[in-house]
Amino acid sequence: MSRSPDLARTRLHAFGDDALGDHDAVGLVAELRSGRVSPSELVEAAIARAERVAGPLGAIACPDFDRARQRARLLDASAGAATGYFAGLPTFVKDNSDVAGLPTQHGTTAFRATPAAADGDFAATFFRLGPVNLGKSQLSEFGISASAESPGRTVRNPWSPEHSSGASSAGSAALVASGVVPLAHANDGGGSIRIPAAATGLVGLKPSRGRVPQDAMTRQMPVRVVADGVVTRSVRDTAAYLRETERLFRNLRLPPVGDVVGPGRKRRRIALVVDSVFTRSDAETAEAVRSAAALLESMGHHVEEIDVPVPDYFVGDFKVYYGLLFLVLNATGRHTFGPSFDWRRTEPLTRGFCAYVLRHLPRVPLAIARLRASTISSRRLYRQYDAVLTPTLSHVTPRIGYLDPTLPYDVVMDRLLGWVGFTPMQNATGDPAISLPFATSAEGTPIGIQLAAGMGRERRLLQLAYEVEQARPFARIQDAVSA
């Protein structure tokens, strides 16, 4: 569907004729290796772009430009001897992961963070790939909400600044979508890689549980619902990130991803789910996912619509489990975050989760047991199908204010459940899933589709994603009129 130039003029991006140009991450690696650009030129271009758009977008939690310049100059002096596939590429780390010398504020004003003494496990591995960190990206408070619109810390959508960028990795998504950096760190505890990717027209893959190293806080959860990764503008960038990370950290319990450079030859049996256990999808979203199904069928895949493969009790179990996490976080906040922590300064949504689980404490053991047991039903599903196709989100991206975390808890929770219809299940099962930009709404915001597969099957998802990308090239924010 074509869009008017008026919609294009509302977009807020920084793409231009500088060292970064229109390149994705893999393209910039080629530019660096050819000597056509230097790390310092890329970093300076990214800083200039950030200074142009990151303020209006609200995407940066903590800049670290001076150290980024120093790191880039060291890479310049190494004359190509630097290690790491992404050496010299500018990036950001989400502000719930420790980076030495920077505070980790977790998107909240409930405490005052001090600079971390060392990199967390995720950042330590990520930096071994060579990217130059420009700072920390903004998120919703403790990553709770699916929209980062806390008072004074709202992240706006580059495609339409009156709309949400999703969450909790909203800052990273906005920085990549607007062209400031080619890729950025994101993590996903209920869809927080895939949701902002869908909202801002990016590729967002939630890896299998254990695929990517994680910080201690996420490893110690009773059910490890969080996975770390990146948001990118191309399938090949996401594939390159997984390939290079696997070369540093290989989980022998999972099948290898390897070097995925294009579509696979095997035709797949794909289940289609249009409506979620939470709600029915709106018309634009349903049309997009059915169009994606038709596209996959035209390429020889077998697509079969099925009932929602999620039990009715999943919604309540997920709410109870997350309420438990935030109740523990509030109760131990002074120990975890320091003496300045005051739970009374957390947002109503955070406190509402705590109140919810206090009313349902007897359900906690059963909720945890059933979330863990979701892997059984997942294995059963993927014995029948190679992948599952769904929308990423149940309806088009809402405007800022719709998911305001200061609204009454019941209001925001009902709205969240009506939007985040498809992503949480893979956090419970640990399975991988990828969001791809596929369509554009009448208001000019991207619409994402999701492909999910069984544990360890990222290679299969990337091959399918390449097929979709080649058949329907992703709309670009910098183009005058999107398709």
Catalytic residues: 94, 168, 192
> In terms of Cα–Cα distance, which of 150, 153, 164, 24 is closest to 86?
24
Q: Are 121 and 378 in contact (CB under 8 A)?
A: no
- CA–CA dist 44, 70 (Å, integer): 11
CA-based radius of gyration for the chain: 21
- Tracing tokens 């996903």 back to the chain, one arrives at 188
| Structure letter (DSSP) for residue 103 | B
C-alpha of 255 from chain center: 23
Query: Please, are residues 293 and 467 in contact by the beta-carbon 8 Å criterion?
Result: no
3-state secondary structure of 380: helix
Region class of 282: left (phi > 0), else alpha (psi between -120 and 50), else beta? beta
Q: From CA 306, how far away is CA 72, in angstroms rounded?
A: 51
Closest Cα to residue 292, out of 422, 474, 424? 474
Residue type (1 letter), 345 = R
Residue type, 264: G
Q: What totals of helices (H) and strands (E) does the chain contain, helices first?
A: 17, 15
